Amino acid sequence: MIHEYLEYPTKEQWIDIEEHSKINHLYLDIKRPEITDFFALFTEHELASWVRLFNNRLGQSRTSYIFFMHYYNKGIPDKEWYISPGKEGQSIQYFPHFTKDETINYKVMFDYYVDAFYYKFFSAWDTIFHIINIQYQFDIETSKDFNRKILTNLNSVNPVLKRQINKTNNSKAFKRSRVLRNDITHNFAPNDISSGISKKKENGKLKKISFGVGNYTPSNEFVENIDGIIEEFIKFLNVFKRSLEATEKKG
């Protein structure tokens, strides 16, 4: 049973994972201005609430990172996720290097916390646009295209920040993460082996069905992608922090 393999990282393991990553940089610490205007106090209070939520979501991302790396470090040998022929003569053998029940259960927990990381990390990313909305008092109502409207308005007051948002969002790591996250949420999860079945249609009619090994994204590729988006995000945070503090000094 999977509960037999559930573990909480020791203090030493937790610190080791932190020291071999950059997750402790996932935090926004801005210098707050001294407010003397009565009405500005309301804006300041609302902004502080959004910044707190932003840091809480990043904190939950850091925790998820610790846990998926904890299970990853235990060993998930899925870089070679199939061999053909198999060790016992099968046409295809999946996960040929998984030798114990604990290995597949480590992968199950790794996948769970990777999913949680993406969810919390991109929740934090969306929170950025709410912080900008409050900071510059755009007063844009939440809607499906909220982020786009924020960027449109931001261009006239802080084009540098807008360029950094676009640069981060269009980075190779972020683009890849969106594909992975979208497939995890809405399509066949890339951290599971697909059926390998493909169909070809002509004029709406099925003409051909083929069968292959399927598709799969090994665990190390998720780790590499997440480390990549953290790198990009840290660069963004430096610009974001300077922008907020500079704006506050002007106000």
How many angstroms separate the CA atoms of 81 and 21, rounded? 26
97-131 pLDDT, tens digit each: 998 787 899 999 999 999 999 999 999 999 999 99
E-state strands within the chain: 82-83, 93-94, 197-202, 205-211
DSSP string, 180-246: HHHHHHHSS-TTS----EEEEEETTEEEEEEE-------HHHHHHHHHHHHHHHHHHHHHHHHHHHH
pLDDT at position 1, please?
Answer: 65
pTM for the whole thing?
A: 0.91
CA dihedral 59, 65, 68, 69 (to 10 degrees): -140
Q: Is residue 60 part of a domain?
A: yes
What whole-number distance in Å separates Cα of residue 125 and Cα of residue 110?
Answer: 22
pLDDT tens sequence across 169-225:
999 999 999 999 999 999 999 999 999 898 888 888 888 888 889 999 999 999 999
Look up the domain containing 49 and give its range.
2-189+225-250
- Domain-embedded: residue 208: no
* pLDDT attached to residue 249: 43
In a domain, 120, yes or no: yes
* pLDDT for 229: 98
d(CA 251, CA 230) in angstroms, rounded, equals: 31
**Does 62 score more than 90 pLDDT?**
yes
Mean pLDDT of 52-62: 97
The verdict on residue 197 lying in a domain is no
Residue 202 lies in a domain: no
- What pLDDT does residue 245 have? 86
pLDDT class of 146 with cuts at 50, 70, 90: very high
Query: Above 80 in pLDDT, residue 247?
Result: no
The answer to whether 240 touches 161, Cβ cutoff 8 Å, is yes
pLDDT score of 37 more than 70:
no
Paired sense of beta strands 197-202 and 205-211, if any: antiparallel
pLDDT computed for residue 57 by the predictor: 98
- Is there a domain that residue 142 lies in? yes
Residue with token string 């900008």: 132
Angstrom distance (rounded) from CA 41 to CA 76:
51
Q: What is the predicted pLDDT for the residue at 5?
A: 72
Total domains in the fold of the chain:
1
Q: How many Cα atoms occupy the beta-carbon half-sphere of 55 within 13 Å?
A: 12
Are the C-beta atoms of residues 107 and 68 closer than 8 Å to each other? no
Does residue 111 lie in a domain region?
yes
Of 246 and 234, the one with more pLDDT: 234
203: in domain:
no
Q: Are 214 and 188 in contact (CB under 8 A)?
A: no
Average pLDDT over residues 82-95: 93
Residues 229 and 232: their CA atoms lie apart, in Å, by: 5
- Band of residue 161 on the pLDDT scale cut at 50, 70, 90: very high
